[in-house]
Structure 1
Amino acid sequence: MSQILEHVDPALDDNGGSRGIGTLLHRLPQQGTGADRRPEVLSDGGRNGSMDVITEATATP
């Protein structure tokens, strides 16, 4: 992940995105992707559970 970030960092800096992308890339190994989490969310709460997860993930504090 760090090699990818190093490669794209100059372009991200030019466009104001390096901080956000860096945070996401560092979080990815611990939390996985949406595709990684989807089966568990669906089995636990079905479609409504999925909507709750989406709402929580996209809500602004």
Structure 2
Amino acid sequence: MKAGKLIALGFSGILAAAGVTVATFEGQELTGYVDPVGIATTCYGQTEIAFVGKEHTGEESFIF
């Protein structure tokens, strides 16, 4: 049981670090745009909620 908790703790640390890394490289774009490969993108690289020209608040960027 102790090993399982350690694995879960390590995995959550990796996920947190990945989130910070993605946010750093993606940047925050509050208005939807088409990225270089032709995919509508917004906030910190989200594509599921992205519509070109739609604006989001800074709070919405963290929620999505």
Calculate the TM-score normalised by the size of structure 1. Answer: 0.30
Structure that is richer in strand per residue: 2
Calculate the TM-score normalised by the size of structure 2. Answer: 0.29
Higher relative contact order (CA 8 A, sep 6+): 2
Structure that is richer in helix per residue: 1
